[in-house]
Structure 1
Amino acid sequence: MPSTLRAAFHISAFGWYTFIVNYLAAKDGEELPAGIFVYGGPWKYLTFLNLLLQMTFFGLAAVNDLQPGEKAESALNRWKDLLFSVFAFPVGTFVVVLFWTIFAYDRELVYPANIDAFFPPWINHAMHTLVLPVLLGEVLVQPHTYPQMRHALAALSVVGVAYLSWIVWVYLTVGVWVYPLLGHFSAAGLLGFFFFNMAVVTLLYLLGDRLNSQIWRKDKRSD
């Protein structure tokens, strides 16, 4: 893809995510359904954290596009590739897949119907649907260097444990689970659900690596 079109894609994606993040952040403090933004506001939701992640990645990608000369070995380019390969693609895809799977089974477990009066359908799709085509677009516009698998999985595990600790802390502090689904699990069930989710994220990381290799006709991993 020509560099100007790639830059336009990155700038557009960054602008889009900036708009969505600001829209959601502005809701904090409004009269929302009980428990929605109590303690931690939107910062306790993986969906919102993922939007921040996507915004950060595309912001870095846009800045990287503006660098003069050779970019492949620059520190910014390496950080951009790391952020996309290890976090932005697997976590973003995970949010879409998990949300719509649970929503199709029983939306009350993840996105109660009373939220619709405060968040219109387009914002739901902005948070939980459009993330995936934008990520697939990024896979198509440029190759990414993937790190050694053990390093990637270690980083994902640390982030996963950190988020689990955060939502457990929220529950212990205010007695409200971030997602109603979590209230249906025992302690052992919650741990099992966590490991299941980490397995799915791992598979999505491998999927991203595979797509990158197939589309760009060579293995970009720095093993």
Structure 2
Amino acid sequence: MTKTTTCVYHFLVLNWYIFLNCYIPHIGRDEEKLKEFHDGGRSKYLTLLNLLLQAIFFGVACLDDVLKRIIGRKNIKFITSFRDLLFTTLAFPMSAFVFLVFWSLFYYDRSLVYPKGLDDYFPAWVNHAMHTSILPFSLVETILRPHHYPSKKLGLALLSICNIAYIIRILWRYSQTGNWVYPVFASLNSLGIIIFFSVSFILTFGTYLLGEKINHWKWGATVKPWMKKK
């Protein structure tokens, strides 16, 4: 892929995520049945947090593209390093995690994560925009350019901090309102919730390692000098 193709891709995907981040939070805002969706805003739904994360990443990627053309690669090492850290530790693992968990629960019992009544408010294309397209976009990004992965210790530590922060957010909200963010938690006892969170931890670690493997498979010769520093 040429640098121009990569720049265009980043620009188009950034605008797509900006549109979704502006459009989705306003769906059914005045509908009584969707008050729970809007109560607490973006921070309680991992899907919406992920959309915001993807928009931030592709925004940084676009900034990196532009600055490289204006002032050169050597003068923006910080931006490039931040771009890679954001993608490797959060953007790719979270897009893969949301995709895998949502569709696994959806096809097992959609009432656990996306009750059928939501179809009246969220068209199918919105559902796929939130939960399907996120992974292909991240995979294309992996193939378009190499990314410098941090040490596994640092990468998994940052991912763990974000996981713990979101779990705390879920539990805090339940303690304040008595309502779970996702119906799946209401169907589990305390032990089941602990197991669910533990499996989620393992899965996010797996998606991190998957991204690293794909990156090394596609760009092994390119990233090898960096990988020796781990």
Give the TM-score taking structure 1 as reference length: 0.95
Letter matched to residue 152 of structure 2: M
Q: Equivalent residue for 1:124?
A: 127
CA distance in 1, matches of 2:75, 2:146: 10
State how many pairs are aligned.
Answer: 223
CA distance in 2, matches of 1:216, 1:32: 50
Normalized per residue, the structure richer in helix is 2
Distance verdict in 2 for CA 1:212–1:117, change over 3 Å: same
Percent of aligned pairs with the same amino acid: 39
Q: Equivalent residue for 1:84?
A: 87
Asked if 1:209 corresponds to 2:216, the answer is no
CA distance in 2, matches of 1:71, 1:120: 45
CA distance in 2, matches of 1:114, 1:62: 38
SS for the counterpart of 1:217 is helix
Distance verdict in 2 for CA 1:72–1:54, change over 3 Å: farther
Q: Equivalent residue for 2:15?
A: 15
Asked if 1:186 corresponds to 2:167, the answer is no
1:102: Cα distance to partner? 0.4
1:191: Cα distance to partner? 1.6
CA distance in 1, matches of 2:204, 2:29: 32
Distance verdict in 2 for CA 1:71–1:198, change over 3 Å: farther
SS for the counterpart of 2:36 is coil
Unaligned runs of at least 5 residues, structure 1? none
Unaligned runs of at least 5 residues, structure 2? none
CA distance in 1, matches of 2:45, 2:108: 20
Letter matched to residue 178 of structure 2: G
1:176: Cα distance to partner? 1.2
Give the RMSD, CA atoms, in angstroms.
1.6
Letter matched to residue 30 of structure 2: E
Q: Please give the residue correspondences for 1:72-111 in structure 2 after superposition, counting only pairs within 5 Å.
A: 74-111=77-114
CA distance in 1, matches of 2:189, 2:144: 44
CA distance in 1, matches of 2:75, 2:143: 17
1:28: Cα distance to partner? 6.8
Cα deviation code 1:197-222 (max 9, x no counterpart): 01011011011001001101334534
Q: Equivalent residue for 1:5?
A: 5
Cα deviation code 1:65-91 (max 9, x no counterpart): 011312596100000000000000011
1:32: Cα distance to partner? 5.0
Distance verdict in 2 for CA 1:190–1:209, change over 3 Å: same
Letter matched to residue 132 of structure 1: L
SS for the counterpart of 1:66 is helix
CA distance in 2, matches of 1:183, 1:119: 23
Q: Equivalent residue for 1:30?
A: 30
Mapped contact 1:71–1:77 kept (Cα < 8 A): no
Cα deviation code 1:79-111 (max 9, x no counterpart): 000000000001110100110000000000000
CA distance in 1, matches of 2:220, 2:151: 19
CA distance in 1, matches of 2:102, 2:144: 26
CA distance in 2, matches of 1:201, 1:131: 15
Give the TM-score taking structure 2 as reference length: 0.92
